[in-house]
Amino acid sequence: MITIPFIDNTIFFGKKQDQIKYVYWVFFGIIFFLAIYFPIFGSNLRYEIGTILRFIFNSIGNILVFVGLIFILLGVLSFFNLNPGKALIFMILGGVLLSFGGIFLMPGSVGTTDPAPKGYH
């Protein structure tokens, strides 16, 4: 039997006034961010977000390259173990992972420890 929930059967957690109070806090938080924080630190915020995203994508790319190299190594070892079917699958999977890893990595970031330039300054 399928029951259709009606508005009368809806359960509300908390009072309605508490929910309205949270809406006011979120609204004033957005106004505070736009009026005070953003005009003063807005340009730095752009570079900070870019630095965080660069770190995340470089980490994903490094992991994909590492796993792709492991799969290619397993493919070569499987080929020498006289199992060419598995070797071909491992080599194709390793190539795909290396391709995706190359997409996520910044150009020239493989094997370097120097940070990339952060902007125009």
Which residue ranges make up each domain of the chain? Answer: 13-104
Could you report the per-residue pLDDT of 78-112, keeping only the tens digit for each?
A: 988 888 888 999 999 999 998 888 888 766 655 55
Q: Is the pTM of this model over 0.95?
A: no
CA distance 7 to 5: 7
Q: Both ends of the chain: CA-CA distance in Å?
A: 67
Q: Average pLDDT over the chain, rounded to whole?
A: 77
Name which of 76, 95, 102, 96 is nearest 87 in CA terms.
76
pLDDT: is 61 or 4 the higher one?
61
Q: How many residues does the chain have?
A: 121
- Give me the torsion for CA of 75, 78, 80, 82, rounded to 10°: -130
